[in-house]
Amino acid sequence: MFGKYVNGYSVRDDVRRPGGWDKFVWKGYSYDGSPAPPKAYGDEVVKDNAVRWIKENLPGRPLFAWISFKAPHPPYLFDRQYAGRFTEAQLPRPPSFNEADVSDKPRYVSRWPQLTDAQVDKLTHDYRGRLRGLLTPDDAVRRIVGALKSAGELDNTYIVFWSDNGFMMGQHRLFFKRHAYVESISFPMIVSGPNVQRGASDPRIVMNQDLAPTFAELANVRVPEFVDGRSMVPIFAGGGSWRDVGLIEGGKPPTPNWPPPYRGIRDEAYTYVEYATGEREYYDLRADPYQLTNAYDSLSEARKVELEERTRVLAQCASASCRSLEE
């Protein structure tokens, strides 16, 4: 394991040092476990540590590496060699950007004023920093693929590229994460490996609880019955039965500026959200992909009851019952 671990973890706390890893190098530390040089760029150190370990262990026994970068997380740092890149890149402005009318949104959204020119300039600056920051993970992928290819193991290796959340950059006038809108709850997963359909895009909903059972199956380990997720291996080639919906949830906010607690459903065709405040949202993602019009009030009473009940049972399920209720 190389890089960022979980929030609250401190490598100095030996009691909480995680087990199960043959090699564990936390962010900010060199390959030998000593602190990295103070001026070293953190993600560059993570990249070098991971690539070194992979090269040292190829070819040979089966390997698993979790490589976790900081970028593009704020404060949007990047390697100094990339300072001249993306200087003219323009901030994406979809129809939801700085939305003119948010009166149909929950109060925590509708009370926000439209973005000022200064805020848009700041978002543009941040966007360029995010792009620069991602060049180091991009280089890591290139070097890892090169190492696997040189060792003759590329065709026998799965590479899974994944994030932990999306991020709002002005859509519906919002910033940061934790929101129930698609930009915040959705992000791409990219997979390369044996029997993965080349160049294909699959819209089906995969979730982070699917990662562990997927890796277990790839390693020929029995997937425990208690897990909530399911192995993605059957859909890598484009087939297999799969879930229709996924549960989305947001807990107690740390500040009043974040969304109130919520839960709901993410479907390929719609998003339904119910907030602890009693407010509701429903978006037809095929007719309204940018979530400009909250269509909840136009739903029939029967449909509202159906959505509320399905959300309730999904929020309370566990293990196999979750997998059944998602279908």
Q: Which CATH number covers residue 249?
A: 3.30.1120.10
pLDDT of residue 13: 59
Residue 176 falls inside a structural domain? yes
The runs of H, that is alpha helices, within the chain are: 42-56, 107-110, 117-133, 135-150, 182-185, 211-218, 301-316, 320-325
109, 100, 104: which is closest to 297 by C-alpha? 104
Residue 217 falls inside a structural domain? no
Residue 42 falls inside a structural domain? yes
Among 202, 228, 260, the domain-final residue is: 202
137, 2, 5, 7: which is closest to 78 by C-alpha? 137
Where the chain has pLDDT below 70, the residues are: 11-17
pLDDT of residue 12: 64
* Amino acid in the structure at residue 48: D
Same domain, yes or no, for 7 and 100?
yes
- H/E run at residue 296: none
Structure token digits, residue 261: 């607690």
**137 and 43 in contact (C-beta within 8 Å)?**
yes
Would you call 209 helix, strand, or coil by DSSP?
A: helix
Pairing state between β 2-3 and 67-68 = parallel
Same domain, yes or no, for 32 and 136?
yes
How many other C-beta atoms are found inside a 10 Å radius of the C-beta of residue 203? 6
Residue-range definition of the domain harbouring residue 313: 243-327
Same domain, yes or no, for 102 and 250?
no
pLDDT of residue 19: 81
**268 and 285 in contact (C-beta within 8 Å)?**
yes
Same domain, yes or no, for 62 and 182?
yes
pLDDT of residue 7: 79
pTM over 0.85: yes
Would you call 274 helix, strand, or coil by DSSP?
A: strand
**258 and 169 in contact (C-beta within 8 Å)?**
no
User: What does the alpha-carbon distance between residue 246 and residue 323 come to, in Å, rounded to a whole number?
Assistant: 10
Q: Which residues pair with 25 in a beta bridge?
A: 2
pLDDT of residue 159: 96
User: What total number of domains does the chain contain?
Assistant: 2
Length of the chain counted residue by residue: 327
User: What does the alpha-carbon distance between residue 107 and residue 248 come to, in Å, rounded to a whole number?
Assistant: 19
Residue 238 falls inside a structural domain? no
Same domain, yes or no, for 193 and 249?
no
Tell whether omega for the bond before 74 is within 30 degrees of 0, i.e. cis.
no
Q: What is the DSSP letter of 151?
A: T
pLDDT of residue 224: 87
Residues with Cβ < 8 Å from 241, sequence gap 6 or more? 234, 327
Residue 225 falls inside a structural domain? no
Alpha-carbon 23 to chain mean position: 24
Same domain, yes or no, for 51 and 153?
yes
pLDDT of residue 257: 75
User: What does the alpha-carbon distance between residue 102 and residue 43 come to, in Å, rounded to a whole number?
Assistant: 38
User: What does the alpha-carbon distance between residue 131 and residue 135 come to, in Å, rounded to a whole number?
Assistant: 7
Residue 221 falls inside a structural domain? no
Same domain, yes or no, for 319 and 194?
no
Same domain, yes or no, for 183 and 259?
no
Query: Considering all CA atoms of the chain, what is the largest pairwise distance in Å, rounded to the nearest integer?
Result: 62
Same domain, yes or no, for 197 and 250?
no
